[in-house]
Structure 1
Amino acid sequence: MSAPDPAAALLRATIRRSVRRGLGGVWLRGPLPPAGAVLAPNHHTWWDGYVLGEVAWTMGAEFRVLMTGQQLARFPFLRRVGALGAAELRAAVRAARSGAWVVVFPEGAIFPAGPLHALHPGAGWLARRANVPLIPVALRVVLRGGQFPEAYVRCGRATEPTRLREALARELAVLDTELSASDPHSPLAGYLRVTGGRTSDAERLHLPGRLLARLTGDRP
């Protein structure tokens, strides 16, 4: 058994604190893999890796995420919390086989929110090589009725590599429909709140504002 890594623990705590301070919360829906798996999400915001790491750590799962060599060269310390280079496929296969959730962004880069771009085959290849489920994951970090963005993660059922695009597009379309049809001041129905986040000034001022209105006789 390897000794605890204090630097890794500190970095993980820093990332998780960043999620709680920068977002209004993280919500999750869908079946989660009980053991090793390859998670294949869309990639439309800077927050995506942090959000999926937060979900994995909250659920007690080992977390790995493939990053480009350029990104990893800029942030090499992220290796301590599960980052692997995109070319480190053998290490990714070993991690998935040993029970980790390995995140592979099949679009290969961050794109503006919208329809899926072309998908690379790496996620499917990795899942097949490691003999673990391939999970399509729809992910949106959106500014709704509050002051801070909210992250919503929708996990689909395991799919075959040849059907990943279809499965991921379907989950993303459902999530976008749910967001567009929802009350922006309330979390999406049916989603589990994984992590709390920052509250808007309007929420914090609601009770004192009501008390002040009562004292002054003001009415809305």
Structure 2
Amino acid sequence: MRVAKKNKIAMRMFRLVQQKLMKRSFAHIYIKADFPIPNNALYIANHSSWWDGLLLFELEQRGYIPNLFVMVDEQGIKKFPIFQWIGAYSVNQQNPKHIKESIRYTKSLLQDGKNICIFPQGKEWHLEQRPLYFQQGAAMIAKQVKDVPVVPITIYYTFRNERKAEVWIGIGKPIQYEDKWSREQMTQYFEEVVTEQLNALKKDVVQNDYTSFIKI
């Protein structure tokens, strides 16, 4: 697997480029979070766009999720090696040995006080896909690092009356679950929580309800 190689200089330079790309692509970015956000957590997010990981990087740079690492598909890092320098590390879902290595690495980062975000869907799915089809990786990690909260993140993209898109992001409360649950039960529950939060986020978008959101 390819481990993260965070580098402050590379992160600073990458963000300069990213901010230009974001200005060209998005009219507005809104975020709603249940504060306080944990300092050390396993974040699980829906995955519908190439932008998802980069938006998480932006949240880190703005101080919403400090010291963030993101698990991404190995092909993505092979295509964009610089992702390793901003906190991405790889998983090869076709290789059981590689999956175990990625989970061990994730566990070590969490135990070291870092924040991790993974995409339990395993790949990009259409934003309106239901069910979300979560894989069991998040549950496997949660069972091994029981004292670290699991926090849902939902990302919703939309177009309105401007040429560029909007992004709405929700960071929820830590998920309450039973340690005695099996991986299958836990995975199903994680999927249900993220689905409910994503649907609620969509409702806010449709109803133009900015009440609880901050524009960043």
Q: CA deviation at 1:4?
A: 6.0
List structure 1 runs of 4+ shifted beyond 3 angstroms: none
Partner of 2:125: 111
Deviation by residue 1:40-76 (Cα, 9 ceiling, x = unmatched): 1111122111112111220160121111111111112
Partner of 1:30: 33
Partner of 1:199: none
Partner of 1:213: none
Computing the radius of gyration over CA atoms, which structure comes out larger, 1 or 2? 1
Partner of 1:179: 205
| RMSD of aligned residue pairs (Cα, Å) | 2.1
> Out of 52, 55, 58, which is 1:51 matched to?
55
Q: Does the C-alpha gap of structure 1 residues 129 and 14 become closer, same or farther in structure 2, counting only changes over 3 Å?
A: farther
Q: Does the C-alpha gap of structure 1 residues 154 and 8 become closer, same or farther in structure 2, counting only changes over 3 Å?
A: closer
> Distance between the aligned counterparts of 1:71 and 1:6, measured in 2?
22
| Structure 1: segments with no counterpart, 5+ residues | 195-220
| Structure 2: segments with no counterpart, 5+ residues | 1-5, 92-98, 178-185
Identical-pair percentage: 20
User: For residue 92 of structure 1, what is the amino acid of its counterpart?
Assistant: T
Q: Given the two structures, how large is their TM-score scaled by the length of structure 2?
A: 0.78
Q: Given the two structures, how large is their TM-score scaled by the length of structure 1?
A: 0.77
> Distance between the aligned counterparts of 2:69 and 2:195, measured in 1?
23
Q: Aligned pair 1:156/2:180, yes or no?
A: no
Partner of 1:66: 71
Q: Does the C-alpha gap of structure 1 residues 133 and 47 become closer, same or farther in structure 2, counting only changes over 3 Å?
A: same
Q: CA deviation at 1:79?
A: 0.3
Partner of 1:139: 155
Partner of 1:16: 19
User: For residue 138 of structure 1, what is the amino acid of its counterpart?
Assistant: T
